[in-house]
Amino acid sequence: MASSSAAKKADGGKVVIFFHPDLGIGGAERLIIDAAVGLQQLGHKVTIFTSHCDPQHCFEEARDVLAIGFFSDELFGLRPDVFVVDQLPACVPLLRWLYPRRQRTLFYCHFPDQLLADRKDGGALGGAVKSLYRIPFDWFEGWSMGASDKIVVNSNFTKSVANRIFPSLSGQFDVVYPCVGDIDLPSHSEENAQERILWGGKFRILLSINRFERKKDVGLAIKAFNGLSDQERSRSRLVLAGGYDTRVAENVEYHHELEVLAEQLGLTTATAKTVESALAVPDNVQVLFLLSVPGSFKSTLLNNASLLLYTPTNEHFGIVPVEAMQHGVPVLAANTGGPLETIVEGETGWLRSVDKVEEWTQVISQVLQDKPATKLARQAGPKRVQENFTRRIMAKRLDREIESMLQSQRRRFLEASDLLMLLALAAVLIAALITLTMNYHFNSPNGTSRLGDFAQARREYPDRTESKNVPHVHNPPADFFEPGNSLDKIKNASAAGDLATLIHEISRLSFNVSKYLSSSIYLATENQHHKTVEYLLKHGAPITTGVVAVATELRDTEMLKLLLRYGWDIDMTISPATPSAMALQIEDAELTNWFLEHGASPNTTCGLDLTPLSFAVQYGSLATIEAMFKHGGCVEHGQLLHYAVRRDLPDHLRVLELVLSKYPDPASAVNQVMYQERLRSYYQQRALSLGTPLHEAAGAGGAAARKKDKLATVKLLVERGANPLIRDSRGEIPLQRAERMHNQAVVDYLRPITDAAEPPELQFTLGKETDE
């Protein structure tokens, strides 16, 4: 699903980057996957970055994601337009500072994190301590969320809560409802029909799907079921299914509490941990606990259920009722929170107070009697879902929010330049304190400062202590930095290209202003005011990486020529993962040729062993790659073979063959672990499963067409001598990586080759590096 292409589509698609902390199996993860797939289907290029994704414990679409590592080059190489962050906004200010010009950040708030923290555990004293402890974190949550360019939430209920919790952001929250995925309509063949009927059709199934947590109030379902008549209970079964983890104490404790409650009410219970044991329970079991129900069996339960009981109070949104309606199952839910927005009373289900158990029992009885309202709900549910909660509808809403965000003015926030200024002021204060401390320390016993003797000598004998030809350098006055004063006027004039005002403001200053002009020259460059930039350069404005990057992204070669005239090193490193400005727009063949003609090296490296030629073999045209080789590009730097394997363009095999032809010993090159000869880069990146080019090709996920292309790559590498028994930095061989990524065609091809292969003479990694 994740796309690693950095090029923007000609039809206006954006490069959208999602950040999600742990891409497991949960409601938040399902939403992110659906949003990413939906935006991709609308023509955007989508990539998900996560700190953890277990292919054996994640959604099918999530098996092709990118894990970010320290100094990873992936993010910079993708050229993002939009960041989408969810759950925790802590990284939002950092993204804003790293990408201050064009990229925008949308934050999806599932629910304020500070309200999810348990502050009562530990008694009155413990709760008070926790509340004090949470104060800075609560403040930081609101502050960092304010760095977003757009904030969306999952329901109007969450919106009302967020407006109350974050008053400074009140009115800035928009709603994008989560969705449910498409489902296959069940087959009506006799064989499949028998498979779909649970427990021989002896019982009407009353279903609850929730995690085993006390706040879910699953006990309400047991009490309401107990209120039914003996006859109604005899022909029905209450199934309590949900997430359960033996490592979570609350799951274990609450399950036991529910069992005790049911038994105290005289109900017969059973607990099943597998589908097989669930299907084998005796007929006399009235309440069945299903722990950690598999996704496929969840659909079977919904297809068999007569009613879904949704008991949580003030649920943020609640995706389970929507899933039930999609399957044509009426829903009985608490009349608070998200269900008020998803369930239509009397049409797709019923909303009742959790304090009135008898009303829940009454609705259950009505459903068991198959009254007309129940039949209406079965028909209305799928229609409501189709009209409001499909993936395409959610994607369109999210797309509109993104477009609105890109068209609107960026929100005010503490920018990187402001932060640097604050740090500089803090450094000045620290320096002043150190100076005062030293003056006090060096005072003579009679109270006269020893350092003052030198100052007194300067006043009495100026000719002997300093040259009259050296001008005295003054620090800027305090009001220079105040809003609306000189520094602001210089910035505003630079941004507007108002050269007359700029000259006036700088000429009247009595101190060297050059070190305060970095923001001004950036603004002038961003707005392509060439004369303004030249004036600032004449007055000592620094040529920063930001200035170079924005000029390159704008493809402003006149500006780049101007920077060269004033001493810019065309091979200046832009960031730890961006070797030089030439790498920033490698897809632009004309601009790349301009860089080469003006002396840019294809072999410049950065914090990683990564060169402009590395970017070219993955993203650039074949003509660009050939031109870079003609201008001295070499295979000794940049891990070219690995990046050529990552290429997703139609000519990827031609590029791979071209790169292989440049190696003096291709058979040795195809068996090199990434960064094997650049140990500094290797130790920075080893947690990312660094392997050979064969690992890269075998692990390619995504669409079937892409996997087919990578199979051709795998075959080419094997033909050139790739050894399938070399292990990556986490101990996997290429076959194991292909199995983990479900690349069945590659698995089938590699298995006999792996079985027949001879172990390599040298195993660079035994896969133990990440265990140190």
Q: Say what the alpha-carbon torsion angle 634, 639, 645, 647 is, to the nearest 10 degrees.
A: -80
**pLDDT of the residue at 12:** 55
Predicted confidence band of residue 447 (pLDDT cuts 50, 70, 90)? very low
Mean of pLDDT values over 408-419: 66
Instruction: Name which of 337, 338, 301, 33 is nearest 177 in CA terms.
Output: 338
| Per-residue pLDDT at 762 exceeds 60 | yes
**pLDDT of the residue at 1:** 38
pLDDT in tens, 595-606: 999 999 999 998
User: Are 80 and 153 in a shared domain?
Assistant: yes
Rounded CA-CA distance 138/106 in Å is 20
Structural domain for 71, as ranges: 15-175
Residue 404 lies in a domain: no
User: Are 46 and 161 in a shared domain?
Assistant: yes
pLDDT in tens, 255-311: 999 999 999 999 999 998 888 888 888 999 999 999 877 777 888 999 999 999 999
- The pTM is what? 0.54
**pLDDT of the residue at 51:** 77
CATH of residue 536's domain is 1.25.40.20
Instruction: Name which of 212, 217, 11, 17 is nearest 98 in CA terms.
Output: 17
Residue 163 lies in a domain: yes
Mean of pLDDT values over 80-92: 88
| Per-residue pLDDT at 221 exceeds 90 | yes
Residue 708 lies in a domain: no
Higher pLDDT, 582 or 678: 582
**pLDDT of the residue at 449:** 43
Residue 659 lies in a domain: no
User: Are 363 and 495 in a shared domain?
Assistant: no
Predicted confidence band of residue 64 (pLDDT cuts 50, 70, 90)? low
Percent residues over pLDDT 90 in the chain:
45
User: Are 298 and 328 in a shared domain?
Assistant: yes
**pLDDT of the residue at 196:** 64
User: Are 171 and 199 in a shared domain?
Assistant: no
Mean of pLDDT values over 672-678: 90
Residue 200 lies in a domain: yes
Higher pLDDT, 468 or 240: 240
Percent residues over pLDDT 70 in the chain:
81
User: Are 334 and 380 in a shared domain?
Assistant: yes
Residue 541 lies in a domain: yes
pLDDT in tens, 116-156: 666 566 556 666 666 676 678 778 888 888 888 899 999 99
Instruction: Name which of 382, 245, 272 is nearest 325 in CA terms.
Output: 382
**pLDDT of the residue at 54:** 65
User: Are 248 and 380 in a shared domain?
Assistant: yes
Residue 2 lies in a domain: no
Name the domain boundary from 568, 584, 603.
568
**pLDDT of the residue at 569:** 96
Higher pLDDT, 420 or 85: 85
Task: Say which amino acid occupies 143.
Answer: W
| Per-residue pLDDT at 245 exceeds 90 | no
* Mean pLDDT, rounded, of the chain: 82
Instruction: Name which of 37, 34, 63 is nearest 50 in CA terms.
Output: 63
User: Are 224 and 371 in a shared domain?
Assistant: yes
Higher pLDDT, 671 or 11: 671
User: Are 384 and 441 in a shared domain?
Assistant: no
What contacts 172, CB < 8 A, 6 or more positions away?
151
CATH of residue 195's domain is 3.40.50.2000
Instruction: Name which of 525, 659, 647, 657 is nearest 587 in CA terms.
Output: 647
**pLDDT of the residue at 127:** 63
Predicted confidence band of residue 189 (pLDDT cuts 50, 70, 90)? very low
pLDDT in tens, 723-751: 999 999 888 999 999 998 888 899 999 99
Q: Buried b / exposed e across 605-619, counting CB within 10 Å, b at 16+? A: bbbbbbbbbbbbbbb
Name the domain boundary from 147, 175, 203.
175
Region of residue 123 (left: phi > 0; alpha: psi -120 to 50; beta: else): left
**pLDDT of the residue at 95:** 84
Residue 516 lies in a domain: yes
User: Are 359 and 430 in a shared domain?
Assistant: no
Rounded CA-CA distance 34/390 in Å is 9
Overall number of domains in the chain: 4
Minimum mean pLDDT range among 10-14, 342-346, 577-581, 683-687: 10-14
Rounded CA-CA distance 589/551 in Å is 16
**pLDDT of the residue at 372:** 78
Q: At what angle do helices 518-526 and 530-538 cross, to 10 degrees?
A: 160
User: Are 372 and 432 in a shared domain?
Assistant: no
Residue 619 in tokens = 């993203």
Name the domain boundary from 175, 201, 236.
175
Residue length of the chain: 772
**pLDDT of the residue at 450:** 39
Rounded CA-CA distance 491/522 in Å is 9
Minimum mean pLDDT range among 248-262, 420-434, 470-484, 506-520: 470-484
Rounded CA-CA distance 21/26 in Å is 12
User: Are 439 and 344 in a shared domain?
Assistant: no
